[in-house]
């Protein structure tokens, strides 16, 4: 069976990667990876849908049990990707989409070099600040932390396979879907199909 594609959307907080992620999931039917976090749920967030919300103690137990593909401390909270469901989906031929911070993207690429990684870039730093403020979910100190790490993360674009500038959400979503479709047509991702057509094992 053809293996699924692992696609990672990353970039600084406020670049709009969350909105792009949700749209791409809706339009492609790709499998989501639900992360585990120690941060408090925001209003409207549902355990098991947006995140698995866990205490720090529970999180440490999961680390010790080797349950994560990658884990990172982001803004004083832990975030991690549970390993088992991802590989199960890929082995069953499903494409999986991730939304993680820049460090998470790096760890995933190290462990799984076939991951396709897309960096979402805001059109300007001013726009990034407007978006973070507009969200209205962060305290002033959390906003400051997010803004200064965004500056740092903007410099990490070289490690990615693709970059998408998100000044128009619709266009950005279309670009991400185009990237995914092109990756699915790569020769190296179709060898089992090619070999079976050619009668090779």
Min dist CB 21 to ligand 5GP, Å, is 8
**Which residues ranging from 134 to 173 are in contact with ligand 5GP (CB under 6 A)?**
none
Separation of alpha carbons 10 and 17, rounded Å: 7
Min dist CB 53 to ligand 5GP, Å, is 11
Burial group, residue 143, by CB count within 10 angstroms (0-12, 13-18, 19+): middle
Told to check if 118 binds ligand 5GP by CB under 6 A, we report no
Separation of alpha carbons 11 and 122, rounded Å: 9
CA distances from 45 to 26, 42, 153 (A): 18, 6, 26
Compose the 13-32 pattern: x for residues touching ligand 5GP by CB under 6 A, - for all others.
Answer: x-------------------
Min dist CB 89 to ligand 5GP, Å, is 15
Residue whose CB is less far from ligand 5GP, 1 or 46: 46
- Work out the number of other CB atoms within 10 angstroms of the CB of residue 147: 18
**Which residues ranging from 48 to 107 are in contact with ligand 5GP (CB under 6 A)?**
70, 72, 74, 79-81, 99-101, 103-104
Query: Out of 7, 30, 31, 35, which residue is the one contacting ligand 5GP (CB under 6 A)?
Result: 35
Q: Where are the beta strands (DSSP E) in 114-198?
A: 116-121, 162-165
Half-sphere exposure of 24 (CA within 13 A, CB side): 30
For residues 159 and 103, is the Cβ–Cβ distance under 8 A? no
Min dist CB 171 to ligand 5GP, Å, is 21
Min dist CB 2 to ligand 5GP, Å, is 26
Query: Tokens at residue 197, please?
Result: 């057509």
Which residues make up the interface to ligand 5GP (CB under 6 A)?
Answer: 13, 35, 39, 70, 72, 74, 79-81, 99-101, 103-104
């Amino acid at each position: 069976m053809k293996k699924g594609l692992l696609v990672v959307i990353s970039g600084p907080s406020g670049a709009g990667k969350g909105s792009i992620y949700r749209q791409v999931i809706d339009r492609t039917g790709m499998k989501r990876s639900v992360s585990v976090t120690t941060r408090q749920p925001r209003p409207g967030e549902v355990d098991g849908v947006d995140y698995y919300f866990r205490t720090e103690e529970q999180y440490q137990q999961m680390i010790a049990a080797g349950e994560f593909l990658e884990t990172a401390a982001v803004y004083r909270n832990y975030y991690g990707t549970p390993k088992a469901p991802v590989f199960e989906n890929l082995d069953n031929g499903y494409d999986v989409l991730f939304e993680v911070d820049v460090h998470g993207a790096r760890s995933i690429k190290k462990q799984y070099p076939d991951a396709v990684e897309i960096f979402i870039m805001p059109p300007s730093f001013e726009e990034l600040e407007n978006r973070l403020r507009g969200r209205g979910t962060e305290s002033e100190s959390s906003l400051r932390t997010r803004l200064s790490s965004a500056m740092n993360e903007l410099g990490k674009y070289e490690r990615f396979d693709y970059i998408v500038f998100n000044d128009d959400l619709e266009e950005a979503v279309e670009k991400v879907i185009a990237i995914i479709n092109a990756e699915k047509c790569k020769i190296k991702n179709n060898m089992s199909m090619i070999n079976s057509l050619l009668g090779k094992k």
